[in-house]
Structure 1
């Protein structure tokens, strides 16, 4: 199973996710694959791949009666490995049929692992090299196109209903009688989280990574005004969290311009409510530790519980059981895409800007999905007019404290 090595006694190069056997011994080829061949993987992606490989190791053990996958790879026994993959595919197909859960990512990880390891461990010369390369070409052509379950069309991407967003504005307002969070400090912290995810479209992991010093400022001599921006990046800071947040892709490292309202909200939180802690992270728990990924999700589960019945009905119509962190990112992307189009940008330019802002790769198809997303005209009113009213209410309760 994958375990996260996070001891401070370990050098940084030895920390992170690693696949181990039931006896706690690192799996040899899984470690070579993740730490040598795939060393650029982000921690969250590495954990998903290793979880898939762990399932493959277990499947091979059941099929052949012993934990022998590492030996089969070392011997470059391509015939035996193919048999193991066929058995694993059958297992995944049965699971997919029984649970209606997509198993493609697990299968893709297993196939890539076997192909990469055969190339690595089966390195040879002469006739054996030609024989191995021919087998690998056949392997790639056959197994990469197989899937454990039928491909289903992705559900349409939609912003949260305007009624829900307006309701969330009311719920997260610190002085609201509907605010479900106990203390004033929690209310201001959770409001900041809500605004960062909704207005900037930050992913959950990106939000958890933020430091208090991630918010930057400089003077622009051209406009004679201060400019503010946010650095979205990873840092090597001895993160104590068991499930360490990470950036999803390399393009996730980016700089985002900040509105005056976000700058003001960050200042209110950091100057008045951020718990003193021995960590540089922006979002701190009541125990003076960096806020966990699970805690971020629980904030919106709690907010969902106190939504109005009308808001819950509108969520149900969209097939949503509640509000999640990623729903806020969807909403931000749908509206920003529409704004680019309304500004007269052609589709290609609008998609390019969206890729940069939301941290997608240059070839990502995500902007095209948002371009086709359903857009409720009243969302623009909630985004602008209702937001302005919300800000006015916030400014009236802005604490004037010196610390």
Structure 2
């Protein structure tokens, strides 16, 4: 081979990034589920909440379906051990594990029934307030104009309603269906915050490029709302619904504690605390168990909301405690191996660093997948705009504009057009300072 001949180097194939390779084939729902399952507190809270829910439903039953617990919440068996709890660790529950009140009613049965009623009111408020808030917020944020004005003024009217006083009046007037009436009323007057948040999200998303692309493609308003915008607000809606449900159970507890909520013969956790507050010094277990269940339920719902927030937000990136420990150990081993004293640990430290980097790449899956979907939507919108631009007469595309600006057109002198433009700008060209030459870079006719 002669010296003048050059050897073409082999083409290098770029290996895809670990995050992109990991997210290949994963939908956004699976990514969110995987991130949520990685949130230890949220997963533990779901397990505890499901145990409480199943225990309250199955122990006392629903309607005509009997429960497995041998005492009902209204039964009055004889006092055992003076009404003290018969629960002995670890698994000796006895006849009355939570104790009895002064008339002999089983506190476990009453607590399970109160939990069942409180959870029923909580779910009723969450479902009703969620539906109303989503509808009002989406319509006000998407259509604007007089629709937004009417819906926002309606929201302001509901905000000034004194919730506790109105709920007390409605609960008293509910009669035998007081629990259902109370839940429906609280759901009708607690949707305002969620509606405002959904409206703010719609106001932001309706100006995005993927919405413009959907309009250019001929999508209807209903399709844009339900297919394109509403799925992007699922994170905000879900997180705020958990906060709303947590506040709902506290509101019901406050009303029942004041004697304005659930009435006899039904009971709730708040009414149990109200009935047994006088026995706090002599029979404290009557106060502990209902209060403990209220605290545990609210904490579980809040932790679930935190897990959903981190799962839906692609910007939430954090190292787990295990990853931090591995990284610290790797840095220590790397420092020791650099001094020459512990060179045999260099390979182990490199493996630890690689494992930490792999964990970080796994945590970036959500951001990569969501960014990829946004890039595809932006590309579709850009293609539609370029097609519309090409259809207009006398308009130069960005590529032709760049070619004309730097190389000129054949009629304007080709490569010398840029030089002539520079001379005109300095006042030294053929046009001079008093007669600048004008060239049409943005229209074909030169004007």
What TM-score, normalized by structure 1, do the two folds share? 0.19
What TM-score, normalized by structure 2, do the two folds share? 0.18
Task: Specify which structure has the higher proportion of helix.
Answer: 2
Task: Specify which structure has the higher proportion of strand.
Answer: 1
